[in-house]
Amino acid sequence: MGNSIFKGLIGIRQKTPKTGEIKPLHIRSSNSEIICSLAPEPTSEFLSEIVKFENGDLLYETEHAINLLLYTNRSTQISKTGYFMAKIFKNSLVSTANAMNNDEQLAKHEFKVLYNLIECPFFIQSYGYFKAANNIVLVKDYILGGSLFDYIRYLGKMTEKQILFFIGQIILALEYIHKRNILCRTLCPEYILIEKDGYIKISEMSGALFEPQTHTDVVGIPEYLAPEVILKQLYFKASDCWMLGILIHNHASSLIRKLLRREISQRLGFNGGASSLRIDPWFKNIKWDELYDKKYPPPFIPQYKNLGDTRNYSQFNNEELRAHQTRLNVTPIKNI
């Protein structure tokens, strides 16, 4: 068994609040001490509960965090499977006051963003965050299929039909956030996970902005950054469209040329964001409503033995796993 080091209150919004306001919810330790205030207030529209977690395998790593499997020994109100993913922020591993505060702000920001995207089927669900064992822990759904990056690496170049299936969902996800004036900024195949039904979940939104046109800071994956981002110029929705162009660089050459124009005002997506991509001839055969409702048969379904299977996460070898588990004071356990 793993260490029982994570204990916190998690919750899920049942309905979209009219104001969209994020109100504080106190997270208490086992001795009832308030350790942070971070999630929405529990109301008739919010379901919450205290959950004691066991920690499992390391899943993947990002620039700012390490992601572990979490599970409980019982079914919960929030998740009937009892499986979650813990995003543990790296700065808090240093255990300094400034590092902990920075990580709490990052966790609060990402939770707020994902809270606003709960009704879109292509973004991961987040249930709140808390402090445990000197770490800031953001709790999300566990997506058992691994990353799109691993599938691309395994399959090599995808067929046009396969890439259309995935790119279509990404466009729908970007369209959803662009209509709400949210910019992703961290779009890459490593952060696009595959659900057990074969559809995608975008898992990382810590770099997202609510009013991106006012920002010129450099945030994102270096290989995917648009020219205006690198040059610290004003940028907006078309910068996300550039990342999409990098993602499909081996496909649809005419579309790529439109997405990778250096002059942002000439780039597809400058007017209307991701919504303007739908009209490109490359997508003429996509029935967008059916794709959004998950009526398209996926090109492949992830293999798994049970809902806690981690076989599809292959990024780390055993030596790397042991090193990270030592840093996090995590006891290795077998796959569930």
82-133 pLDDT tens trace: 788 888 887 655 556 666 678 888 888 898 899 889 899 999 988 877 776 6
**Do 6-144+305-327 and 148-292 come out as alike in CATH topology?**
no
CATH number for region 6-144+305-327: 3.30.200.20
Topology of the domain covering 148-292: Transferase(Phosphotransferase); domain 1 (1.10.510)
Domain ranges of the chain: 6-144+305-327, 148-292
Average pLDDT over residues 255-275: 89
Model confidence band, residue 43 (pLDDT cutoffs 50, 70, 90)? very low
Does residue 179 have a pLDDT over 80? yes
Q: What is the pLDDT of residue 74?
A: 56
Does residue 249 have a pLDDT over 60? yes
pLDDT digits (tens, 9 = 90+) for 48-74: 555 566 667 888 887 778 888 877 765
Is the pTM above the cut of 0.85? no
Q: How far apart are the C-alpha atoms of 92 and 99, rounded to whole Å?
A: 5
pLDDT digits (tens, 9 = 90+) for 278-315: 989 999 999 999 999 999 999 989 999 998 899 898 65
More confident residue, 1 or 182: 182
Q: What is the pLDDT of residue 131?
A: 74
Does residue 223 have a pLDDT over 90? no
